[in-house]
Amino acid sequence: QKEVEQNSGPLSVPEGAIASLNCTYSDRGSQSFFWYRQYSGKSPELIMSIYSNGDKEDGRFTAQLNKASQYVSLLIRDSQPSDSATYLCAVNLGYNNNDMRFGAGTRLTVKP
Amino acid sequence: EAQVTQNPRYLITVTGKKLTVTCSQNMNHEYMSWYRQDPGLGLRQIYYSMNVEVTDKGDVPEGYKVSRKEKRNFPLILESPSPNQTSLYFCASSLTGLMTDGGYTFGSGTRLTVV
């Protein structure tokens, strides 16, 4: 079992819709969770971090964390074509504070 | 501007010819790390450094070396590159590397092809 799993996609949504990206992780001791956006040929860019169960909102982005289910998600409201990118989930495994593991990413396409 | 600078952006080399990819950050970050990104495998950590003169192996260290003689620089050395090291490489840094640090800042990437 991979430590951080994401559906590779592609996930396609129409402009203005809500895009929902999901991530599961294997280590129950994980403490910190991140979402990165990566445009094709570019470097990952941090868009959200979440440390506690529940929702965290930042503009059109909402991160949701459920540690009991070992599940973290990213919702993008009012999706725009400029949101088309690969979204990487990253989890700090907790038994070593430096141990950040990345999922393989979900490719999102927002169609005008 | 706060940034992580990698060079070169693109590199084509031949098997066995030693090469160095440079990484420099201007944010006074203690923690620096190297990743490689391959299709379907995501980002895999090669080496990381908690501070000057402190380095440790990540998940895929074979065939790579690093050094951290100064806080700002963390070069990645391939002593004898092989075709299976063809990949997209990213350098990343954060203030301390601890879990509450708020994530990494990534360099712009180096696309390496070994023929």
DSSP state of A52: S
Per-residue pLDDT of chain A (112 residues; tens, 9 = 90+): 678 999 888 999 999 999 999 999 998 888 889 999 999 989 999 999 998 999 999 999 999 999 999 999 999 999 999 999 999 999 987 655 667 889 999 999 999 9
Average pLDDT score over chain B = 93
The beta strand positions in A1-105, using DSSP E, are 4-6, 11-14, 19-25, 32-38, 45-50, 54-58, 61-66, 71-76, 85-92, 100-102
Q: Which of B4, B27, B43 to mutate to test the interface with A (most CBs of A within 10 A)?
A: B43
Strand A45-50 versus strand A32-38 pairing type: antiparallel
* A43: nearest CB among B97, B103, B106: B106
Can you give the pLDDT at residue B41? Answer: 85
Contact B97 A97 (CB under 8 A): yes
Measure in Å the smallest separation between the Cα of A112 and chain B Cα atoms: 27
What's the CA gap between B23 and B33, in Å, rounded?
10
Residue-wise pLDDT tens digits, B18-57: 999 999 999 999 999 999 999 888 899 999 998 999 999 9
pLDDT of residue A59: 96
pLDDT of B114 > 60? The answer is yes
